[in-house]
């Protein structure tokens, strides 16, 4: 039946399956994320979307998207469509913004810049008064929203506005240096809704026991590790019951493929971890291609070159589950033997980062342990 037809690749298969489900279930609105880049991405089969959006960019997948910000931006701008409004996140690199404007003009895509968080705040105050604005501020503070999430929230609200307003008529941009900032004034329900959104494995705090907390973030580039480091600094303090609580902090880290772990680990070493573990752990028997294979040995070598006094070790697949089980079973009082030596901490904090796969595998272990224990 399928003789002569080549099987689709993984990303092509996933998006084809997604479209099939969307049509079968008669969904009203679908948010479709590109698999890689944009210009040559399989998601471009959708030729008439209601709105397109580009978040912050950085040098990643250089073998496919290019080795400069301009090249990456050119690939990302491939999702711009004629007469379809587009919006890009604020604070883009100048080179990227120039490419976005040029590409938008070339295809006739009305382009906007998403507002900053403070812009939305001011719009809310103008529309609803200081009381509504303060309620918004309190919600953000209560949720502990990191700055990078603030920027993503602004982009999401801007994209929603363009979709909801059915693409307002905007004249082609006369000057590539001028791109209007889209005014956004969300309702209270929109604010509550977007602040309640969660991405599993992204800025996630899991209270395993009263005394053991896992902080999981799927950051896997230098820029995203910066955001992870800043978030962990704040979140770990918020999770501490008292300032003088004796805490053991552990890093569980890996990178995949040929990624350089050195710059990432240099950013993370400021947290003065008591123990560092590098793991090639895989929580399933699925075969991964080389680009997704964990490289714990490279991490260990990079850490050693940093010359820190914090002990580091590689955890084998067989050692990861017992390691997590030990932490889960700790009563918060008894002596606990870690790589940092015998200690009597009152709390343990574990940061898991460096790889989407590692974070996912650790989360799957936690679920399995909770079910089995």
**DSSP one-letter code for 336:** E
Task: Dump the DSSP string for 190-213.
Answer: HHHHHHH---TTSSEEEE-SSSEE
Predicted pLDDT of residue 88: 94
* Number of other residues whose CB lies within 10 A of the CB of residue 106: 11
The pLDDT profile of the chain, 373 residues, written as one tens digit per residue, is 456 778 888 888 888 999 999 999 999 999 999 888 888 888 888 889 999 999 988 777 777 777 788 999 999 999 999 989 999 998 888 899 999 999 999 999 999 999 988 888 788 777 766 666 677 777 677 666 788 888 888 999 999 999 988 744 544 444 444 567 888 888 778 887 887 888 889 999 988 888 889 999 999 889 899 999 999 998 888 877 665 567 889 999 998 877 889 999 999 999 999 889 998 766 555 555 555 666 788 888 888 898 888 888 888 777 878 888 887 777 656 556 555 544 556 788 999 999 988 898 888 876 555 544 4
* Number of other residues whose CB lies within 10 A of the CB of residue 300: 20
**Angle, alpha carbons 33-36-40 (nearest 5°):** 100
Alpha-carbon 234 to chain mean position: 17
List CB contacts of 246: < 8 A, sequence separation 6 or more.
Answer: 344, 345, 346, 347
* Number of other residues whose CB lies within 10 A of the CB of residue 349: 24
Predicted pLDDT of residue 240: 72
- Contact between 124 and 132 (Cβ < 8 Å): yes
Predicted pLDDT of residue 169: 53
**DSSP one-letter code for 177:** T
Predicted TM-score (pTM) of the model is 0.80
**DSSP one-letter code for 307:** T
Distances (CA, A) of 16 to 8, 21, 22, 34, 99: 9, 9, 10, 13, 30
List CB contacts of 233: < 8 A, sequence separation 6 or more.
Answer: 271
Task: Dump the DSSP string for 219-287.
Answer: --SHHHHHHHHHHHHHHHHHT-SSTT--EEEEEEE--BTT---HHHHHHHGGG--SEEEEE---SS---
List CB contacts of 20: < 8 A, sequence separation 6 or more.
Answer: none
Predicted pLDDT of residue 347: 83
Q: How far apart are the first and last CA of the chain?
A: 47
Rounded Cα distance between 254 and 300, Å, is 9
Task: Give the domains, in start order, of the chain with CATH numbers.
Answer: 10-196 (no CATH), 204-372 (3.90.190.20)
Task: Dump the DSSP string for 62-75.
Answer: HHHH-SSHHHHHHH
């Amino acid at each position: 039946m399928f003789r002569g037809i080549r099987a689709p690749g993984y990303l092509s298969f996933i998006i084809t399956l997604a479209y099939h489900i969307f049509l079968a279930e008669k969904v009203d609105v679908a948010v479709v994320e590109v698999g890689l880049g944009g210009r040559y991405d399989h998601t471009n089969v959708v030729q008439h979307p209601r709105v397109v959006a580009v978040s912050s960019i950085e040098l990643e997948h250089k073998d496919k998207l290019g080795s400069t910000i301009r090249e990456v931006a050119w690939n990302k701008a491939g999702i711009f469509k004629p007469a379809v409004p587009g919006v890009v996140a604020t604070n883009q690199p100048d080179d990227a913004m120039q490419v976005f404007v040029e590409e938008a003009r070339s295809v006739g895509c009305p382009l906007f810049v998403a507002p900053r968080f403070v812009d939305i705040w001011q719009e809310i105050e103008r529309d609803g008064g200081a009381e509504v604005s303060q309620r918004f501020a309190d919600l953000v503070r209560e949720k502990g929203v990191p700055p990078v999430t603030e920027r993503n929230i602004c982009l999401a609200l801007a994209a929603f506005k363009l979709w909801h307003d059915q693409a307002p008529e905007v004249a082609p941009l006369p000057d590539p240096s001028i791109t209007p900032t889209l005014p956004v004034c969300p309702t209270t329900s929109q604010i509550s809704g977007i602040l309640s959104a969660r991405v599993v494995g992204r800025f996630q705090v899991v209270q395993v026991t009263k005394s053991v907390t896992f902080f999981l973030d799927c950051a896997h580039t230098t820029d995203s590790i910066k955001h992870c480091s800043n978030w962990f600094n704040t979140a770990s303090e918020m999770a501490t019951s008292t300032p003088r609580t004796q805490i053991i902090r552990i890093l569980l880290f890996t990178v995949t493929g040929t990624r350089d772990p050195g710059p990432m680990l240099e950013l993370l070493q400021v947290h003065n971890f008591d123990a560092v573990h590098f793991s090639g752990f895989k929580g399933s028997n699925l075969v991964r291609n080389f680009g997704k294979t964990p490289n714990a040995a490279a991490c260990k070598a990079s850490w050693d070159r940093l010359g820190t006094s914090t002990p580091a070790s590689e955890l084998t697949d067989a050692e990861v589950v017992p390691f997590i089980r030990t932490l889960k079973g700790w009563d918060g009082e008894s002596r606990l033997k870690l790589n940092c030596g015998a200690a009597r901490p009152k709390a343990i904090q574990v940061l898991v980062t460096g790889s989407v796969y590692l974070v996912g595998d650790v989360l799957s272990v936690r679920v399995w342990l909770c079910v089995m224990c």
